[in-house]
Amino acid sequence: MSILQNWENLQNRLSILQRRPQVIAVSKTKPISLIREACESGILVFGENRIQEAMEKFIPLQKEGINFELHHIGPVQSGTLKKLFGLFRYTHGVGSLSTLEDLSKRSEKSTSKLGFFLQVNLTQEDSKHGFSESEIINLLPRISQYETEHLEFSGLMTMGPTNEDKDLTRTVFRRLFQIREEYCVGKKISMGMSGDFEIALEEGTDIIRVGSLLFGTR
């Protein structure tokens, strides 16, 4: 199926569910030809997890004058975070205090704006990146101290469990929603991928990040 058909199927699904989340089309590992096809299908919000790969694919599209919005969706590492400024409008994987401090410091030298999502690890899997529930609850009341003219706190991001257990997925998505309601109402939540976006929608997400559903398996 074409990207356009996949996109229309997703839009139909969303309208049946009566939800209008922002959809991030995750184009990681996919070639620029498919990203162009997506742009021609009316998709303009993309997600990439590797900064170098994103630069190789999206700087040429930028030069062609395509008006995309790019989100960084992988873990943010201190060594590479300066490259986030400029090409990316948002980053969804700020998962530690030291990264947040580095991002904040770096943003003072930037001339373009970056919004950030704090990644929360609610499944308690060691393999997962992100703040624990107690860490995030501690941090949120003082999050504004890390914001600068070019760095804005946008919301919270989480991922479902690696084993894709549906009940646990729902539990962690519901918890993220509650944390937002309690500690940062007005900010966005980013949760739900190709395999679990419907649960995320039922639990009130604002943003879904779907890759394979639109572009095919990786």
Binding interface with ligand PLP (CB under 6 A)? 26, 28, 49, 73-74, 193-195, 209-213
Half-sphere exposure of 76 (CA within 13 A, CB side): 34
Exposure class string for 114-126: b at 16+ Cβ within 10 A, else e: bbbbbbbbbbeee
User: What is the nearest approach in angstroms of ligand PLP to the Cβ of residue 112?
Assistant: 22
Pairing of strands 22-26, 188-190: unpaired
Question: Nearer Cβ to ligand PLP, position 105 or 166?
Answer: 166
Q: Which is nearer to ligand PLP, 38 or 141 (CB)?
A: 38
| CB nearer ligand PLP, residue 120 or residue 213 | 213
Q: How far apart are CA 16 and CA 59, in angstroms?
A: 36
Question: Closest CB to ligand PLP among 188 and 209?
Answer: 209
Closest contact distance (angstroms) between CB of 64 and ligand PLP is 25
| Closest distance to ligand PLP from the beta carbon of 73 (Å) | 4
Q: Are 22 and 45 contacting, i.e. CB atoms less than 8 angstroms apart?
A: yes
CB–CB of 3/187 below 8 Å? no
CB of 76 to ligand PLP, least distance (A): 11
Helices (H), 48-195: 51-63, 97-107, 133-139, 166-183
How many angstroms from the chain centroid is the CA of residue 141? 22
CB of 194 to ligand PLP, least distance (A): 3
- In the complex with ligand PLP, the residue whose CB is nearer, 110 or 168, is 168
Residues 6+ apart with CB under 8 A from 130: 93, 95, 118, 119, 120, 121, 158
Q: How many residues does the chain have?
A: 218
Query: Measured from the CB of residue 54, what is the shortest distance to ligand PLP in angstroms?
Result: 13
Of residues 179 and 211, the one with the C-beta less far from ligand PLP: 211
